[in-house]
Amino acid sequence: MLFVGLELLSFIIIYRYNNYQKASFLNYTGSVSSGFYNAVNNTTSYFNLKNVNDSLQAENAQLRSQLLNAFYQNSFTITKISDTTYKQQYEYISASVVNNSVTKRNNYITLDKGSEHGIEKGMGVICSNGIVGTVQYVSRNYSVILSFLNSQSNLSVKVKKNNAFGSLVWEGDDPGEARLKDVNKHVQIAVKDEIVTSNYSTIYPEGIPVGTISNHYLDDGENFHSIDIKLNTDFGTLKSVYVIRNLLKYQQQGIEALANPEKH
Residue 224 is part of a domain; what is its CATH number? 2.40.10.340
Is residue 94 scored above 70 in pLDDT? yes
- pTM for the structure as a whole: 0.66
**Residue 257 domain boundaries:** 93-264
CA dist 120 and 51 (Å) reads 25
- Residue 81: its pLDDT value, please? 31
Band of pLDDT at residue 257, cut at 50, 70 and 90:
confident
Let me know whether 42 and 119 are in one domain. Answer: no
Let me know whether 98 and 43 are in one domain. Answer: no
Let me know whether 249 and 126 are in one domain. Answer: yes
Q: pLDDT tens for residues 140-156?
A: 999 999 999 999 999 99
Residue 19 maps to a domain: yes
What is the tally of structural domains in the chain? 2
Residue 167 maps to a domain: yes
Band of pLDDT at residue 22, cut at 50, 70 and 90:
low
Residue 82 maps to a domain: no
Let me know whether 33 and 160 are in one domain. Answer: no
- Regarding beta strands 90-100 and 155-159, do their DSSP bridges make them parallel or antiparallel, or are they unpaired? unpaired
